[in-house]
Amino acid sequence: MSDMHREPPPCDGCLGTRRCWVCLGTGVVDRRQGGIDACASCYGSGKCKHCQPVSVVDLGSPYGLPTTADADEEPEASAGTAG
């Protein structure tokens, strides 16, 4: 087998399982307030970020939804005067 197609050996962080050690390969973590979120370490892939890096593609902001910069520019609803 050529060296080009050989996978790198598993690292000591995941103990050879190639799973994310933060979410244990599930891709999700529990929130303190309840519910679940995607694992921030492996971006929800469940793969170890050291021996199986995940490429993340930024697709931009969703169409029609305000971004955090847009939300800062909006006037507050309570800023008007009652009259």
pLDDT in tens, 29-60: 998 888 888 898 888 888 888 888 777 777 77
Question: What span, in angstroms and rounded, lies between the C-alpha atoms of 79 and 83?
Answer: 13
Q: Model pTM?
A: 0.52
Question: What span, in angstroms and rounded, lies between the C-alpha atoms of 58 and 74?
Answer: 25
Stretch (H or E) spanning 22 = none
Question: What span, in angstroms and rounded, lies between the C-alpha atoms of 44 and 17?
Answer: 17
